[in-house]
Structure 1
Amino acid sequence: MSAVASNQADGDGRVTVSLAELISLRNRVARLRLPPQDSRAMRVGAQSSRLYGRGMDYAESRAYQPGDDVRRMDWRLTARSGRLHTKLFQEEREGQLLIVLDRHPSMHFGTRVRFKSVQAARAAALAAWYAVRAGERVGLMQFGSHTHLQRPRGGVHGALDVCGAIAKGDAGSSGHYESLSQALQRVNKLQHGANRLVLITDGQSSDDSAHRHLLETMRHTAVRVLIVADALELALAPPGHYPIEHDGERRTLVLRSETQRASFQQSLGASLLRLATMTKSLGIPTRTIDTAGDPLDAVSALLRDGGTRR
């Protein structure tokens, strides 16, 4: 049964994830102009071919998608199921995208429009809808205060399962805080079959070992990183009094001088900068978004052609 079929109440889309919004993002992706299918294929760890002829080994069948070659229709399965199906051959296996979503408590923060966790969820859903529209299977691995693996699955049901798992993960917690390096070790051990991976995080879960494990992941998977940041992590805060809460205690942070505000911004954005520096040293295409903007352009750039660094 799809994770979407749960009885979980929908969120508000600001502090908690709105499942209805995650599903509705499909319409936005549907309006995008995608590049030709051949140029989208990421050939990391596997080869892909559009050749068709004798000597090719049949691999599996999947639901028909617009643009599929009608000569490859699986008419027997179509007749049995009542739905159109296409045959896939060994040299033409579908790409698979694994979305790795940060669920650390640091993501539950935001001073503009929504929490980082909600913006990250929206970006993950957009990535899922983009992948299935491009003919890829899509899966999800969550880490931090919630750990979950949704193995790659094709078609609309694959994206719906990802959206449902995201909403469920937003509402629950395992109580175990997995670091980025631990999450990457789990990725590298799993037989997930993905040839592309997009990591969505605020960078605060990164640790000293993350560099080494990112490098290991890159040996068999094309890695992309989307950093989600709050406005206060990206620029100086305006002068003023800021109520904060830590370990159940509420206090007021006073930021008057430019020196105070610069020190605060540098401290708050240190993790973001550390991760961005790390991905740059490894040559990993990376984008940064804030909590108020639209993540669609950043997501589509990373998945369309590897992304441009920003």
Structure 2
Amino acid sequence: MSAVPSQPPVGDGRTRVNLDELIGLRARVARSALVPTESHAARAGQQSSRLYGRGMDYAESRAYQPGDDVRRLDWRLTARSGKLHTKLFQEEREGRLLIVLDQHAGMRFGTRARFKSVQAARVAALAAWHAVRAGERVGLMAFGGRQHVLQPRGSVRGALAACGALAEWDGQPDDAGESLSAALQRVRRLQHGASRVLLISDGWSCDEAARGRLLDMRRHAAVYVMVVADALELALPAPGRYPLEHAGEQREVLLLAERERRDFQASLGAGQAWLQSVARSLALPLQCIDTAADPVDAVATLLRTRGGRR
């Protein structure tokens, strides 16, 4: 566990998260359309509801079904139609968004603009600003490296706390190697009524057991997936020499023949391809962005998807 630091480290926005940039994303979210929130909690008629505050508002009436609460009968419509009708209500309560952030060492990679880890933090910050703007509480869980958790908080302070945590946690040593399925098992214990869960990952932490965990989670909350990938993981690289560095060691990869380039791209992009495949097979809302993309529209589009399904 980790508290939000009073003085997070200063990042360059390319290889390290820049806190000022994350906070500045608030202004861009404020100019966009409000993203509605949803609940998957069961209620009369099994209707999902939008969450904007507190209270119970009348939504509509429908024909009575066995098991309906007789206290909610719509007597006026029943009298007019001669058939029993039940009132349905829209529950309005505070929602919760839990952001699940992949921080494996492989996220600290990028050939365009910034590391995947920095882009993932920008996505998480945007989601946090959207959540608090819509009246949700926002929580944050990191996995893969150290197992950090930021408990859900509301209002602007909640988003600021998330931004501070993203800056503090960035670049810390990867000493866990936690799989996605293990992380999702922790999410189920931490969910505590979260109406929405946003997974941000490059897919390299995925294992076969993660599919079942995501399916189970979808029964309790709307689940969204944002895949962050490098340009070399998404498209066939151009012929040429590619200098790569890992753990202080520099190497050069020569890619000339088309088969070499295809094999390289398939190998490098296996993680994101697998995660996208799993998300599509479970009908989870999905967006994929590379490290050079502006994530503002992608995050808004993803979170506007209704019901946690395509």
* TM-score when normalising by structure 1: 0.81
**Corresponding residue for residue 56 of structure 2:** 51
Letter of the structure 1 residue corresponding to residue 26 of structure 2:
R
Give the gaps of 5 or more residues in structure 2.
44-48, 59-89
Query: Within 2, Cα distance between the matches of 1:242 and 1:309?
Result: 39
Give the 3 Å change call, closer, same or farther, for CA 17–96 of structure 1 in structure 2: same
SS in 2 for 1:135: coil
Query: Within 2, Cα distance between the matches of 1:308 and 1:186?
Result: 20
Letter of the structure 2 residue corresponding to residue 44 of structure 1:
H
**Corresponding residue for residue 170 of structure 1:** 170
Between 1:120-129 and 1:210-219, the stretch displaced more is 210-219
Is 1:277 matched with 2:277? yes
Aligned residues: 269
Cα deviation for residue 138 of structure 1 reads 0.6
SS in 1 for 2:15: coil
Letter of the structure 1 residue corresponding to residue 147 of structure 2:
T
Letter of the structure 2 residue corresponding to residue 45 of structure 1:
A
Contact 1:234 1:265 in 2 (8 A): yes
Query: Within 1, Cα distance between the matches of 2:143 and 2:229?
Result: 18
Is 1:41 matched with 2:37? yes
Query: Within 1, Cα distance between the matches of 2:94 and 2:160?
Result: 18
SS in 1 for 2:170: helix
SS in 2 for 1:224: strand
Query: Within 2, Cα distance between the matches of 1:43 and 1:179?
Result: 28
Contact 1:97 1:195 in 2 (8 A): yes
**Corresponding residue for residue 70 of structure 1:** none
Between 1:254-263 and 1:12-21, the stretch displaced more is 254-263
Percent identity (aligned): 58
Contact 1:3 1:160 in 2 (8 A): no
Query: Within 2, Cα distance between the matches of 1:203 and 1:164?
Result: 25
Contact 2:104 2:174 in 1 (8 A): no
Query: Within 2, Cα distance between the matches of 1:130 and 1:200?
Result: 15
Contact 1:97 1:196 in 2 (8 A): yes
Between 1:299-308 and 1:282-291, the stretch displaced more is 299-308
Query: Within 2, Cα distance between the matches of 1:252 and 1:168?
Result: 32
SS in 2 for 1:51: strand
Please list, as runs of the form range in 1=range in 2, the aligned pairs for 1:103-252 lying within 5 A after superposition.
103-173=103-173, 175-246=175-246, 248-252=248-252
Cα deviation for residue 221 of structure 1 reads 1.1
Contact 2:218 2:308 in 1 (8 A): no
Cα deviation for residue 302 of structure 1 reads 1.3
Query: Within 2, Cα distance between the matches of 1:109 and 1:277?
Result: 22
Cα deviation for residue 155 of structure 1 reads 0.3
Letter of the structure 2 residue corresponding to residue 223 of structure 1:
V
Query: Within 2, Cα distance between the matches of 1:7 and 1:139?
Result: 20
Letter of the structure 1 residue corresponding to residue 39 of structure 2:
R
Give the 3 Å change call, closer, same or farther, for CA 51–309 of structure 1 in structure 2: closer
Please list, as runs of the form range in 1=range in 2, the aligned pairs for 1:6-85 lying within 5 A after superposition.
6-34=6-34, 40-45=36-41, 48=49, 51=56
Contact 1:224 1:306 in 2 (8 A): no
Query: Within 2, Cα distance between the matches of 1:262 and 1:305?
Result: 33
Query: Within 2, Cα distance between the matches of 1:177 and 1:187?
Result: 16
**Corresponding residue for residue 56 of structure 1:** none
Deviations 1:5-42 (A, max 9, x none): 5223310000000011001100000001226xxxx231
Give the 3 Å change call, closer, same or farther, for CA 129–118 of structure 1 in structure 2: same
Give the 3 Å change call, closer, same or farther, for CA 139–257 of structure 1 in structure 2: same
* TM-score when normalising by structure 2: 0.81
Contact 1:101 1:200 in 2 (8 A): yes
Letter of the structure 2 residue corresponding to residue 272 of structure 1:
Q
Give the gaps of 5 or more residues in structure 1.
54-89
Query: Within 1, Cα distance between the matches of 2:291 and 2:174?
Result: 25
Give the 3 Å change call, closer, same or farther, for CA 271–309 of structure 1 in structure 2: farther
Give the 3 Å change call, closer, same or farther, for CA 46–150 of structure 1 in structure 2: farther
Cα deviation for residue 246 of structure 1 reads 4.2
Letter of the structure 2 residue corresponding to residue 26 of structure 1:
R
Query: Within 2, Cα distance between the matches of 1:174 and 1:238?
Result: 32
RMSD value over aligned CA atoms? Answer: 2.4
Query: Within 1, Cα distance between the matches of 2:272 and 2:57?
Result: 46
Contact 2:222 2:308 in 1 (8 A): no
SS in 2 for 1:151: strand
Query: Within 1, Cα distance between the matches of 2:307 and 2:91?
Result: 26
Query: Within 1, Cα distance between the matches of 2:294 and 2:144?
Result: 24
